[in-house]
Amino acid sequence: MIKDNGYYLTAPNPYIDYVAGDNIRTGIFHSAYMFQENGIVKFGSKETKDGTVAFRKEDFENSLTGTYVLRKDFLELVFDENKKWEVRIIFKINGDQLENVKSNSGGGIGQIYQFQKW
């Protein structure tokens, strides 16, 4: 079962961005999924400097929107369906966690998202 009274948040992901020459930008990237009862999923992200983050419903208002389908203990997400850059992700549902087990985007496999209540 997927929960819709909060969001699923991945572990913080530190990054270093070499903007131009000696310009270096650092931070911590956070990504999250919010599921709605009607089969709609929203993907949101934030950057911080200290690793602490909280999402609100408003943070997902203008975020990337896709669809999801439950298949037993698995959850299939589709973004940009029927477009050449369509993204499909399959998660294994483990209680309050989602584990990315398959993706055609090449990234994120193995990432775990933990449920956070509003």
pLDDT, tens digit, 9 for 90 and up, residues 38-50: 999 999 999 999 8
Q: How far is residue 66's CA from residue 78's CA, in Å, rounded to a whole number? A: 6
Q: How far is residue 11's CA from residue 9's CA, in Å, rounded to a whole number? A: 7
pLDDT, tens digit, 9 for 90 and up, residues 71-96: 999 999 999 998 988 999 999 999 99
SS3 sequence of 20-47: ECCEEEEEEEEEEEEECCCCEEEEEEEE
Confidence at residue 88, expressed as pLDDT on a 0 to 100 scale:
95
Confidence at residue 72, expressed as pLDDT on a 0 to 100 scale:
93
| pLDDT tops 90 at residue 106 | no
Domains and CATH numbers, the chain: 6-17+25-117 (2.40.128)
What the block records as the tokens of 84 is 């050449």
pLDDT, tens digit, 9 for 90 and up, residues 8-53: 999 999 988 887 777 888 899 999 999 998 999 999 999 999 888 9
Confidence at residue 50, expressed as pLDDT on a 0 to 100 scale:
87
Using DSSP, state whether 57 is helix, strand or coil.
helix
Percent of the chain with pLDDT over 90: 75
